[in-house]
Amino acid sequence: MMDELRRKVDCLRTQVTSSVLGYEMVVDEVLICLFSCGHMLLEGPPGVGKTHLAKTIAALIDASFGRISATPDLKAQDIFGDVFFDSPSKTQYFRKGPIFANIVLIDEVNRAPHRIQSAFLEAMGESAVSITGETHTLPRPFFLIATQNPIEYVGTYKLPEAQRDRFMMKTKLTYMRRADEKKLLNSKINIEPLTPALSCPELLSIQKKIREEVSIPAEVIEQILDILQATRTRKEVVIGASTRAGISYVNAVKSRAFLEGRCKACEEDVFELAHPILRHRIAMNQDSTAFGFTEDDLLNDILRRFK
């Protein structure tokens, strides 16, 4: 069973990387997040393939797909649905919104106003939403991918700290390397639909196998704790990594081990995932920000101490 699931994961990985050229590391991080039951934040300038990557992942999982375009006038009903009254039968019924899907893409999440950004917290944290006092459970699996433009772009809002912490990982997409872009420009555009590589039950089985069968040695846990503590004690930092970040870290390193064909996590997994797991959970002080010292710079400095 495990060998068959690994074969399907390898097929999924190959299909995504062949469709999204030049972003092999980003693809792996998205898959790790998916297998860890987390949610993914993709950041990058317009036109680098954030939405294409999210749609490709969705197409390769035989699952329901919902898409939400975040705009300044977005309403909660546009996301979660609404209760309607049917006059002939004199009954109320609930029409579900696009959040009720296995894989949900939120385009440009940081263009939505703060009250709407905060509305995603319950869905991301509880896999359920409350509407007119009634709780509605979201389908399983539930994987939310949000894209955002860098904060300096006009018309964007900074995500609230609580919402940023709900994302397991934040991955940055930059402009493609010249060689990859040349390959893309010379290639024929593939307009044929993608064939799903995994079903929802298979994805749930993979998530369960990783939780139960991939081990994490004590020294790897200690390494994670060292890094978490280091983010909280630096003078450049106002807010360090949360305990939720540590839980996400553990789940992610186990998923990376699985993706690499191992049944045990190692320190390499810890170092490779530090940036996507932690960068969005750290708040730098004003002096550091003014001097251009970023969260990634801080993490680079911390990791050098432990390597």
Q: For the domain that residue 226 is a member of, what is the CATH number?
A: 1.10.8.80
CA distance 212 to 111: 39
Looking at the fold, whether 105 and 17 belong to one and the same domain comes out as: yes
Give the CATH number, domain containing residue 51. 3.40.50.300
CA distance 23 to 230: 29
> What pLDDT, in 10s, does the model give residues 201-257?
999 999 999 999 999 999 999 999 999 999 999 999 999 999 999 999 999 999 999
Q: Quote the tokens at residue 117.
A: 């950004």
CA distance 263 to 267: 14
Predicted confidence at residue 110, as pLDDT, reads: 83
Looking at the fold, whether 200 and 119 belong to one and the same domain comes out as: yes
Number of domains in the chain: 2
From the list 129, 135, 139, the residue with the least C-alpha distance to 203 is 139
pLDDT band at 188 (very low <50, low <70, confident <90, very high): low
Looking at the fold, whether 5 and 50 belong to one and the same domain comes out as: yes
> What pLDDT, in 10s, does the model give residues 35-57?
999 999 999 888 888 888 888 88
Looking at the fold, whether 146 and 60 belong to one and the same domain comes out as: yes
Domain residue limits at 237: 214-307
CA distance 85 to 102: 27
> What pLDDT, in 10s, does the model give residues 136-148?
899 999 999 999 8
Q: Quote the tokens at residue 134.
A: 């009634």
User: Mean pLDDT score of the chain, rounded to an integer?
Assistant: 88
Looking at the fold, whether 238 and 143 belong to one and the same domain comes out as: no
Looking at the fold, whether 163 and 195 belong to one and the same domain comes out as: yes
Mention every residue, 6+ apart, whose C-beta is less than 8 A from residue 162: 118, 121
From the list 144, 149, 127, 183, the residue with the least C-alpha distance to 58 is 144
Looking at the fold, whether 199 and 230 belong to one and the same domain comes out as: no
From the list 22, 29, 35, the residue with the least C-alpha distance to 210 is 35
Domain end residue (candidates: 159, 189, 213): 213
- What is the pLDDT averaged over residues 275-300? 93
Looking at the fold, whether 6 and 123 belong to one and the same domain comes out as: yes
Domain end residue (candidates: 194, 213, 232): 213
Domain end residue (candidates: 198, 213, 228): 213
Looking at the fold, whether 120 and 161 belong to one and the same domain comes out as: yes
Looking at the fold, whether 60 and 206 belong to one and the same domain comes out as: yes
